[in-house]
Amino acid sequence: MDVRLEKATNSDAEAIFDIQVNAFISLLEKYKDYQTNPANETINRVIVRISNPHGGFFKILVENRLVGAICVLWKVDEQFWISPMFILPEYQGKGIAQRAITLVEKLFPQAVSWELTTILEEERNCYLYEKMGYIKTGIKKVLNENTTLIFYKKEI
């Protein structure tokens, strides 16, 4: 399966937004985290991410089909942050997220660390990140009675 990343532009915003909502809507319904879930964002938030001078939004393409996206922010001292990353539900569980993370890490060889958060209750997500060398930092943020964000970091 050919997986590649391509830098998103403003003309990609609507397609990325539609995939983002599709990818996160089941989690929004399950955890009811209306303040933080990307399915509850507006298309303007996608446009801001695409044009952020301190970050990059990359389309995830499988066999040249847009199936998701991954956003990277660079912080001080070559520390990088991934948020959000999402893939269409019908493409999940096929190793695409793992390949996308590997590809985005290779795009920024200057990185000394990578950080991200995920929902603690989503064991598949936690397993993926831990398999890829991300370690729990011990920081947690309770969003509501259903949802806790857990922070991960990978030192390079």
In CATH, what class is 3-155?
Answer: alpha beta
Domains of the chain, by residue range, sit at: 3-155
Mean confidence (pLDDT) of the chain = 97
d(CA 71, CA 53): 12
Distances (CA, A) of 27 to 38, 85, 119: 10, 14, 9
SS3 sequence of 99-118:
HHHHHHHHHCCCCCEEEEEE
For the record, the structure tokens of 19 come out as: 């995939």
What is residue 76's predicted lDDT score, i.e. its pLDDT?
85
**In 13-90, where does DSSP find H-type helix?**
13-31, 43-51
pLDDT of 129 > 90? The answer is yes
Specify the pTM: 0.96
Q: What's the pLDDT at 26?
A: 97
Q: What pLDDT is stored for residue 47 in this prediction? A: 98
For 1, 13, 149, 153, the CA distances from 36, given in Å and listed in that order, are: 32, 19, 10, 20
Omega within 30 of 0 (cis) for the link into 84: yes
Q: How confident is the model at residue 43 (pLDDT cuts 50, 70, 90)?
A: very high
Residue 153 has a pLDDT of 98
Query: Average pLDDT in the 27-52 region?
Result: 97
Dist CA 91 CA 96 (whole Å):
7
Q: What's the DSSP call for residue 140?
A: E
